[in-house]
Amino acid sequence: MDKQKLIINGGRKIEGELSLHGAKNAALPILAATVLIKDGESVIHNCPRLTDVDAALRILSHIGVKCRRSGSTVISDACAIGNCEIPVRLMREMRSSIVFLGSVLGRTGHCRMSYPGGCELGPRPIDLHLSALRSMGAVIEETHGFLDCSAPKGLNGTEISLSFPSVGATENIMLAAVTANGVTVVDGAAKEPEITDLAGFLTACGAQISGAGTDRIVIRGKEKLCGAEHSVMPDRIAAVTYMCCAAVTGGELILSSADIGHIGAVVPVFKEMGCRVYSFGKDSIYIKAPERLKAPHTIRTMPYPYFPTDAQAPLMAVCTVADGTAVFVENIFDNRYRHVSELLRMGAKIKTEGRVAVVQGVRRLSAAELVSPDLRGGAALVIAALCAEGTSTIGGISHIDRGYEAIEKSLYSVGADIRRI
């Protein structure tokens, strides 16, 4: 049971400089990819200390990968894998655990796992994952909540057309294809930077991949991959979250170890709200907020390079205190407004109907006792609490810890009155 809470005294401006940690959504598939390395160690730098990453490391250890961490670096040795079954208790810890299907099947020819757990954001069907692997020669039986997978004749390259640019399905195909026989072509592939980062690690290990970051990826299978060093990309959703913290408090923030190119669809929204945002140097983002924000026009979540669904909840929290009315249209997940009921407790004016949320800005929010409903919804509550009058308590912060490395320490370092109890 999650007994920890965040205590936030609102009204402090977020000001200063903050360094981003590595991206959760890049680190997890890269860690899964280390399963494929038969020769040498994999050295993964900038690997964030998150509970989802810890869960991935437990899965790796369970199947026989030797892992050790030194600071933000994880070293893994997968030369002698002895287990191809991932138990229910580990699969339930995070949604992204399904990405181990492609790597374990590609390495051992067998894999048994249950359906994954994680945030309850509505159905995230894995049909695309399974149909793609079946087209590559996998035999998959779904019984009693388990997936029993094998490749009796090995995995073979083929042409795969995705009906939706699923990040997870694209990653699973890449992981299965890099050691498969022949050439795999993925049309309709996801284009997220995390896909490019995964391809970068696999390429460093000797894989032959072209087109990552476009909707057509070509993978030429190789018999063996060797260990390599790789640094995980900065977390673009964490970047947006901390920019929201600065914006909602009228603050001024520099994010180092950040790439403004990864959040190209979000930057115009901040500017529309009256913030100054620009990059300087090779890896820094600057944001300065006005005393009062203006509500942006309609925000529609879409696959990359458009506005990310993971940024919807944090931006909605900002819009609750912006002048005017903002409209959100959630096109990715069915159940991604679970944070709204908690924001309403703070005095926000939000109406939802289906995929649409209409946010009418109020002058100020009031502190409240809150419970984090999921990862990004929890971040939204932190953002709202930073600008609210009084002291807010946020429970259920195990959700937040899945994607933010010691969020209270980061925010305290740039002026927030926040502590964990």
Residue 270 and residue 130: Cα distance in Å, rounded? 39
CB atoms within 10 A of CB 17: 12
Active site (annotated) includes residue 319: no
Residue 309 and residue 401: Cα distance in Å, rounded? 19
Torsion sign across C-alpha atoms 396, 398, 404, 405? positive
Q: What are phi and psi of 331, to 5 degrees?
A: -105, 0
The residue to which tokens 């429970």 are assigned = 395
Residue 189 and residue 219: Cα distance in Å, rounded? 12
SS3 13: coil
Do 106 and 176 contact (CB within 8 A), yes or no? yes
Count the helices and strands in the chain (H runs, E runs).
14, 26
Q: How far is CA 216 from CA 146, 175, 307, in A?
A: 31, 16, 21
Binding-site members for phosphoenolpyruvate are 24-25
SS3 226: strand
Binding-site members for UDP-N-acetyl-alpha-D-glucosamine are 95, 124-128, 310, 332
Ramachandran category for residue 106: left, alpha or beta (phi over 0 → left; psi -120 to 50 → alpha):
alpha
The one-letter amino acid code at 35 reads V
DSSP-derived secondary structure letter, 20: P
| CB-neighbour burial class of residue 117 (10 A; exposed 0-12, middle 13-18, buried 19+) | middle
Q: What is the DSSP string of 395-419?
A: E-THHHHTTSTTHHHHHHTTT-EEE
What strands lie across the sheet with 208-210, from one edge to the other? Answer: 159-161, 183-187, 216-220, 208-210
Token pair of 271, please?
């500017």
The residue to which tokens 């699923």 are assigned = 166
Q: 255 pairs with which residues across the strands?
A: 18, 285
Residue 219 and residue 207: Cα distance in Å, rounded? 8
**Catalytic member of 67, 84, 111, 119:** 119
The one-letter amino acid code at 284 reads S
Would you please indicate which residues are annotated as catalytic (active-site) residues?
119
